[in-house]
Amino acid sequence: MEQYIIKGGNPLVGEVEIGGAKNAALAILAAAIMSDETVMIDNLPDVNDINVLLDAIAGIGAMVHRVDRHTVKINGKGVTSVDIEYDYIKKIRASYYLLGALLGKYKRAEVALPGGCNIGSRPIDQHLKGFRALGAEVEIEHGKIIAEASRLVGKHIYFDVVSVGATINVMMAAAMAEGLTILENVAKEPHVVDVANFLNSMGANIRGAGTDVIRIRGVQRLHRTEYSVIPDQIEAGTFMFAAAATQGDVTVMNVIPKHLEATTAKLLEIGCEVEEFDDAVRVVSKGRLKCTHVKTLPYPGFPTDMQPQIGVTLALCEGTSTITESIFENRFKYLDELARMGASVKIEGNSATIEGVEKFSGARVSAPDLRAGAALCIAGLAADGITIVDDIVYIQRGYERFEEKLRSLGAVIEKVSTEKEIRKFMLKVS
Residues acting as catalytic residues: 117
The whole-angstrom separation of Cα 69 and Cα 55 is 14
Contacts of 249 (CB under 8 A, 6+ apart): 11, 12, 13, 14, 243, 282, 283, 284, 285
Q: Give Cβ neighbours of residue 213 (< 8 Å, ≥ 6 apart).
A: 182, 183, 184, 186
Strand order in the sheet with 412-416: 364-366, 386-390, 3-7, 412-416
Secondary structure, 3-state, 160-195: CCCCHHHHHHHHHHHCCCECEEEEECCCCCHHHHHH
Pairing of strands 63-68, 71-75: antiparallel
- CA distance from start to end of the chain: 24
Buried b (16+ CB within 10 A) or exposed e, 74-95: bbbeebeebebbeebbbbbbbb
Characterize the bridge pairing of strands 249-253 and 13-17: parallel
Q: How many CB atoms lie within 10 A of CB 221?
A: 12
At 419, give phi and psi (nearest 5°): -65, -30
